[in-house]
Amino acid sequence: MSEEEQLPCRLCNGTLEEVVVAKRSIWMCRGCGSALVERTDLIPVLEVAAREIASQVSYDTEIIPIPQPGTVPCPDCDKMMDSFGYMETNLVYPWRCYSCALVYMGADVMGTMTLLFARTNFRHDAFVSHMQEELASMDRRMSAVLMNRIREGWMMMGA
Ligand SMILES: [Zn+2]
Ligand SMILES: [Zn+2]
């Protein structure tokens, strides 16, 4: 994608302008907040956005699905894009262009993906800390058993 090029927003009459998020260039519309991201930059950009809202997200944060949209032409090459269920869910559908390896989404789609990303992080962290507690209590149980054996051993020797 050439740097000076002005890319048209496909959701309003605005243009997409380059902004830097997480040290990566993304193209955003000031008018409606739609965003164009290189496919490989999507996760790092979402990671940063998700961190900003992490404190407001919990295990049960509700995510309101956004219906699958029709197609739009790629802002860069004009070929029709297709939409895909993000993170293999049917909650939100960004567009992608196979030729340019770009992902394009409206502000509502980007917001929902960020929320989904943050909730997945939260659930993962909750799972990990739950497992750590399980393992720690398993350790405590194990050492209790071991201590009993040792005590029994001493008692037998003393008997
Ligand atoms: Zn726009
Ligand atoms: Zn394209």
Q: What pLDDT, in 10s, does the model give residues 85-124?
A: 988 788 999 999 999 999 999 999 999 999 999 998 888 8
Q: How far is the CA of 44 from the centre of ligand 1 (A)?
A: 23
What is the 133 CA–ligand 2 centroid distance (Å)?
48
pTM: 0.77
Alpha helices by DSSP H, listed for the chain, are 42-53, 107-158
- The single residue listed with the structure tokens 């058993």 is 145
Domain extent, residue 127, equals: 7-131
Domains in the chain: how many in total? 1
54 CA from centroid of ligand 1 (Å): 27
Tell me: the pLDDT tens digits for 24-69?
A: 999 999 999 999 999 999 999 999 999 988 888 888 889 899 999 8
Look at residue 140 and tell me if it is in a domain: no
- On whether residue 54 sits in a domain, the answer given is yes
Tokens representing 73 are 């032409």
50 within domain boundaries = yes
